[in-house]
Structure 1
C-alpha cells in the first residue's frame, strides 16, 4: 500500500487557550509605564491643588492609587519642587501617628506669562496657584512681530531679574486671533497684522525658557477651571470681549481646539440688532459690534473721552457721566445677546465673561444677565481675575501644560535651563 503523509497535528482549543499571548516589546512596555506614571503624577498634583494641605492617605482615597504609589509620586513631585510637606502635622481623630499633609510649594517656582493685546503686551510671573507675583505692561512701539516678541521675552527676563529667589519653570504666550497651539504659531491676527508668526520659536530663542502658545480665550478657560469661579464645573464657556472677540469651550477637563486650533472663532457671527459695519462687508458682526475700538469711538464721538482707552470710559462712568454709563450698559446688553446665542448652541454649565464693564460694574453684569434671561442668568459669571486677567492669561497656558504632565513639563524646563546661554 502506498504510504501517505501523516496528518498535520491539531491543536486543541484547550491547549491554545493555555498558550500565553506574546509579550509586549520592551520599548512599548517602557512607554506604557512612563505614560501611567505621568498620568498618576498629574492626578496627584491636581488633587493637591484642589484639596491641599492634604494627607497622603487622603490622596490615595481621592485618586484611587495605592498608598505606596502615592508616596512614590509625592517624593518625585517634592524633588521637582512642586509640592512640600506642610509645616504642622495633623492627627487623625487625635490618636495614632500624625498625618503629615502635603501642599503645593508656591514659594520658589514660577511660570512666565505673555499676553499680546493690540495696544500693549502684558508680561507676568505666576506662582503654582495661578497668582500674579509680578507684572508689567509694554506699550507697542510697532506691531512688527519680532520686535513685539523680543521685547516680551526681555520683559520676562527683567521680571525674573527682580525676583532672584524665583525660578522659572517655563512660560506661556496667549494671543487673540487664530493660534495653532501645536506649532506655537499665530496663524492669523488681522488687528495686529500678523500672519504665520512662529511665536514659540522667537520667545523661546530669546528667553531661554520652555514656551507654550495658545489663544487667550482657551488660556482663560483653563485658568477659570484650575483657579477661578468655574472650578469643578463639568462644562465651561469662556467669552472674551476686548478688541478681539472670541470664545473657548471646555467639557470634562478638555478644551476643544478643533483642526489647527481654529475652534472659538466667533468674530463674524451675526448679532441681532447690530448696526456696526464690519470689514467683511456685512453689518452687525460680533467683533465689529462689541470691540473696544467701537466702544471708544462711540465714547469719543459723544465727548466722553479723548483717548482710545476703554478704562477711561469706565472711569467716566464711575465718576457719574450718564453717557458713559449708557454706553457700557448697552454694550453689556449686546454681550448678553451673544451669550444667549452661545448658550442655545452649546448649553454649558457655566459661562465666564471677560468684558470691561461686566468685570467692574454690577449694573453692567445685571444688564447682561437680564438680556440672557432669568432662567439662565445664574450660570453667567464675570471673569475671576479682575484687572489681572491679561496677566493671568499667558501664564495659564504654561500652567495647564504643567498640571497635565508635571514630570515632562519639569524635565523640559530643566533641559532648556541647562542648555540656555548665560
Structure 2
C-alpha cells in the first residue's frame, strides 16, 4: 500500500517486483485488502502490451480519508483528504478560546464537524499540529494561544474516537513532502517560523522517532550573530533567526508597535526597515542552515516557512549553496518550498494520519470496521 500511494496504481506483478515479495504473497495480501475495501481495482483493465491485461491496484478515494488539523494562534483549521492527498473538504474558524482547554475543545469541535460531514466510517485517522515546537519538560506554553502537545493529544482523545497523532509542524511537513510532494528517499526539511525546526525522512521513515523527538536546532550558534539568547549563549538560532526574534527586534527598533503579531513582519504595505530586518535574517539563515545540512548529510534539503519576499528567499538559498560548497566541497541540493494552497497546514497535518495508517493498514482496517459498527472506542 505504501508503494501504491507513493508511485500510483500498480499491477500485482509490478508490486511483486518492486517490493521484492513473492507473487503468491502479493496475491494473498491483495485479496485480503480488496475484501476490506482498503484497495480497489481499476475498471476497465488497462492493456499493457501483449499478454493478459493488467488490472491496476489503487487506494480508494472517498471511502478512505485522513484528516488534518492545525492550531494557529489566530485560527483553528481542519481538512479531509484522500490517501493521495486530494482535498475533500476543509474548514477554518477564528480562535476564540483564551485558555489551553478552550483551544483544545475548539479543535475537537471543528474536527468532529468535519468527521460528521465526510462520515465516521471513512476516516482512518487524524493528524494535528501546533505552531509551538519548543518542547521542554516542565516549561509552560509561552503564549495563551499555544497548546502543550501532550495536553492536546489527551484532550482530543477524550472527544474523538479515531486514532490521533500530534506532532510538530516540521515533522508533518516532512511526511507531506515524502507522501504527496514527490520527495526523495533522503530529505531534510527545515521550517522557519516562530521556531526553527528540522525533520529528516530517510528510506520512508522519520529519522528521529516519537512525538517531538529531535528536530530542534534552537541553540546552534549562527556564525557572526551577536544576539544574546536566554540560554546564556550568544548568537543562538532562537535569538537570531526565528520569527519571534525578528518580531522582537522590529518592535524594539520602532518598526512595529508593541503587540504586533508574526504576520505583521510581512505586510502588504512593506517598509524599508522591515525589508532590511528580513534580509539580514535571510543571510543569517544562509550561514547556519549549511551547518545543519553538513551534520545530517541528507541527499537534499527543503526550506519552508514565510522567510520573506522572493528576493529575500533567493538571497537565503544562494548563501546556503555558497556556504555549503565551502564547508563540504560539493554542490547543495536545496530548494525553497513555496506555500500556495489555502489549506496549507491541514494538508501537512493529514500526512501524519496517512503515515500512521500505512504503518499498519490491516490493524487500522480492523479498528475502522469496529468503529463503524460502534463496537469500540479507539484512541
TM-score (norm 2): 0.83
- How has the CA–CA distance of structure 1 residues 248 and 50 changed in structure 2, closer, same or farther, with 3 Å as cutoff? closer
- How has the CA–CA distance of structure 1 residues 227 and 330 changed in structure 2, closer, same or farther, with 3 Å as cutoff? same
Q: CA deviation at 1:76?
A: 2.4
Q: CA deviation at 1:164?
A: 5.0
* Residue pair 2:121, 2:369 contacting (<8 A) in 1 also: no
Q: CA deviation at 1:128?
A: 0.5
Q: CA RMSD in A?
A: 3.2
- Of 64, 76, 80 in structure 1, the residue corresponding to residue 32 of structure 2 is 76
Partner of 2:318: 370
- How has the CA–CA distance of structure 1 residues 259 and 64 changed in structure 2, closer, same or farther, with 3 Å as cutoff? closer
The 5 A counterparts of 1:65-144 are: 65-93=21-49, 95-142=50-97, 144=99
Match of 1:96, SS state, is coil
* Residue pair 2:192, 2:307 contacting (<8 A) in 1 also: no
2:84 and 2:209 map into 1 onto residues whose CA distance is 28
TM-score (norm 1): 0.75
Partner of 2:352: 397
| 1:410 aligns to 2:365 (yes or no) | yes
Partner of 1:53: 9
1:258 and 1:101 map into 2 onto residues whose CA distance is 34
- How has the CA–CA distance of structure 1 residues 190 and 278 changed in structure 2, closer, same or farther, with 3 Å as cutoff? farther
Q: CA deviation at 1:297?
A: 4.5
Q: CA deviation at 1:115?
A: 2.4
Partner of 2:157: 204
Larger mean CA deviation between 159-168 and 287-296 belongs to: 159-168
Match of 1:98, SS state, is coil
Residues 219-261 of structure 1: CA deviation (Å, up to 9, x unaligned): 221221222242x33x222212111222222332232336885
* Residue pair 1:314, 1:357 contacting (<8 A) in 2 also: no
- Of 178, 202, 226 in structure 2, the residue corresponding to residue 225 of structure 1 is 178
Q: CA deviation at 1:298?
A: 4.6
* Residue pair 1:333, 1:367 contacting (<8 A) in 2 also: yes
Task: Choose 1 or 2 for highest CA Rg.
Answer: 1
Q: Which runs of 5+ in 2 are unaligned?
A: none
State the number of aligned residues.
365
* Residue pair 2:46, 2:55 contacting (<8 A) in 1 also: yes
Partner of 1:308: 260
Q: CA deviation at 1:416?
A: 4.3
Match of 1:250, SS state, is strand
- Of 252, 267, 271 in structure 1, the residue corresponding to residue 222 of structure 2 is 271
Residues 36-65 of structure 1: CA deviation (Å, up to 9, x unaligned): xxxxxxxxx012123322222211111222
1:340 and 1:126 map into 2 onto residues whose CA distance is 35
Q: CA deviation at 1:349?
A: 1.0
- Of 10, 15, 20 in structure 2, the residue corresponding to residue 64 of structure 1 is 20
Q: CA deviation at 1:357?
A: 2.8
Larger mean CA deviation between 191-200 and 331-340 belongs to: 191-200
| 1:290 aligns to 2:246 (yes or no) | no
Residues 315-364 of structure 1: CA deviation (Å, up to 9, x unaligned): 43xx6654444333332222222211101212211112122136xx4323
Q: Which runs of 5+ in 1 are unaligned?
A: 1-44, 181-185
Match of 2:51, SS state, is strand
Residues 86-114 of structure 1: CA deviation (Å, up to 9, x unaligned): 23312231x33221111221233211212
Larger mean CA deviation between 151-160 and 194-203 belongs to: 194-203
1:132 and 1:308 map into 2 onto residues whose CA distance is 33
2:310 and 2:236 map into 1 onto residues whose CA distance is 26
1:143 and 1:336 map into 2 onto residues whose CA distance is 37
Partner of 1:345: 295
The 5 A counterparts of 1:138-217 are: 138-142=93-97, 144-164=99-119, 167-175=122-130, 176-177=132-133, 190-192=141-143, 197-217=150-170
2:39 and 2:189 map into 1 onto residues whose CA distance is 30
Partner of 1:36: none
Q: CA deviation at 1:401?
A: 1.1
